[in-house]
Amino acid sequence: MIELYHNGAAAASLKLLIALKELDLEFSGHAVDPQTLQNWSEAHRKLAPQGQLPVLVDDGEVMNESQFALQYLAEAYGDHRLAPSDALGWYDVQAWLNINEPALGPNVSLIGWQQTTSAEARDAYRAGLAAVPGREKQAGWGAVLQDAEANEDQLANAREKTAQALSRIEAALAENDWVAGPDYSIADISTFALVRTLPDLLPDMVNRTNTPRTMGWLERINARPAVKAALAAAGGDRYDPPA
């Protein structure tokens, strides 16, 4: 029995929802709302001690690192549908994930959180998070949000890192139809989950003039039945606090 504890259309959760749908796997989904600190509940912390989302549980085995959980699904159930069968192809997919996910994930999350939530909502979230007992101090953008509003330099840096990652995507798509080679893979799923809202968040950066290949790639993935099903299961777009 597969269970997925997730926060809807947030990127890390969405990529696992898409993979499960692409692989036609039956699973039980459990929505967890980080904005109301449900991921810091005692029950959730038994699965994810640091409040991580999403959490994949397969036959009692708990996986609370989304990138490795995605690779697990591709290897355990994929029959090479979402990952290459050859070692070099796997290297290309994993290299892509290791380069682009860290570059895009926290920066897109910060930009979305800052642009789509009010200062009052962010203040309330930080106050609630600070009151969680036994919670270790967060690193990265989580620390930024815990301690103070992100300043203009931090937001400018997030935009710059995002632009660099988009340049890599455009270059990759100039060589192949998909980001890590000739075939659709978990690299596309993971990157799509991070990039798909950028035409709305950063329309001056992500558009048909500046990033034409990325826009076409987004359209192809959005048209996939499994992706449509995953987005429907995820509910509406939302931007949760960076972890």
- 208 shares its domain with 91: yes
**Can you name the residues that pair with 184 across neighbouring β-strands?**
none
Domain shared by 14 and 95, yes or no: no
Q: How does 116-144 read in b/e, with b if 16+ C-beta sit within 10 Å?
A: ebeeeebeebbeebeeeeebeebeebbeb
Q: In angstroms, what CA-CA distances link 6 with 154, 159, 221, 230?
A: 28, 26, 21, 12
Total domains in the chain come to 2
Asked whether residue 82 is assigned to any structural domain, the reply reads no
Same domain, 51 and 137: no
Angle CA 110–113–118, to nearest 5: 135
CB-CB contact of 165 with 157 (8 Å): no
Q: How far apart are the first and last CA of the chain?
A: 27
Same domain? 95 vs 179: yes
Question: Comparing C-alpha atoms, which of 155, 42, 40 is closest to residue 53?
Answer: 40
Residue 145 shares a structural domain with residue 60: no
Is the residue at 113 inside a domain? Answer: yes
CB 96 within 8 A of CB 187: yes
Mark whether 63 and 96 lie in a shared domain.
Answer: no
Both 47 and 119 in one domain: the answer is no
Q: Are residues 52 and 98 in the same domain?
A: no
Instruction: Answer yes or no: do 49 and 14 share one domain.
Output: yes
Statement to judge: residues 127 and 190 lie in one domain: yes
Q: What is the pLDDT along the chain (243 residues), one digit of tens a residue?
A: 899 999 989 999 999 999 999 999 999 999 999 888 999 999 999 999 988 999 999 999 999 999 999 999 999 997 878 999 899 999 999 999 998 888 899 899 889 888 888 888 888 888 888 788 766 545 444 554 444 456 778 888 999 999 999 999 999 999 999 999 999 999 999 999 999 999 999 999 999 999 999 999 999 999 999 999 999 998 876 666 665
114's CB contacts (< 8 A; 6+ apart) are 122, 150, 155
Range list of β-strands (E), the chain = 2-6, 28-31, 55-58, 61-63
Same domain (yes/no): 10, 33:
yes
Range of the domain at 43: 2-77
Tokens of 26: 């039956």
Q: Is residue 229 part of a domain?
A: no
Q: Considering the domain boundaries, does residue 238 fall inside one?
A: no
230 domain residue, yes or no:
no
Residues 110 and 62 in one domain: no
How far, in Å, are 31, 200, 232, 238 from residue 38 at the CA level? 9, 28, 22, 16
* Residue 158 belongs to some domain of the structure: yes
CATH number of the structural domain spanning residue 22: 3.40.30.10
Residue 240 in domain: no
What is the CATH number for 168?
1.20.1050.10
pTM for the model: 0.91
Token pair of 204 as six digits:
């001056």
116 falls within a domain? yes
Q: How many CB atoms lie within 10 A of CB 149?
A: 13
